[in-house]
Structure 1
Amino acid sequence: MTPRQTVTTVVASVLVTGLAGGTVGVPLGLALHGAVVPAMGHGAGLRLPASVLDVYAAPELTALGTAGLVIAVLGALLPAGWDARTRTAVALRAE
């Protein structure tokens, strides 16, 4: 493999993980926010208005979902560069 192909392979291998993280993490975080914030308000004896509870709009949720992909790709670039610069036998032994 050429160095560019090695980097592409390593980055492509983390795309599924990043996509899964964004797809699962955003709805779970939103559900957790919807459960915890009202419970905290109730514990303090407050009834929180909708403006406090509905803080995320659709564009922000989309950006948060794609952030999982961006973080995964950025996190894979450095190890991919290391792999691209090593000899094939050394890289395979490290696997």
Structure 2
Amino acid sequence: MNRRHVSYSLAGFVSLLTLAVYLPALRNNFVNWDDGDYVIDNLNIRSLDGALLKWACFGFGAGNWHPLTWLSHALDYAVWGLNPLGHHLTNIVLHAVNT
């Protein structure tokens, strides 16, 4: 096996390990930490339009500026509504890809 194959194999293993560790989160509901501010009570993420893009890029929701997070939540809401399973699934996939 050459170095490239070893690197890809290790990356794949770490990604699968990440999935395995975080998959139990799919059984969880939203939490009473910041999910209200970010998802449940956030009317800004309820539509995919120019107003969302403007707010995500120039607004400071929940005291933070992170446009990709807001866009991710908006896409989750468009696909899953307020079903926490979908929101958790997106985060698990993002964590696994990020590894």
Specify if TM > 0.5: no
Structure with more relative contact order (C-alpha pairs < 8 Å, separation 6 or more): 1
TM-score normalized by the length of structure 2: 0.38
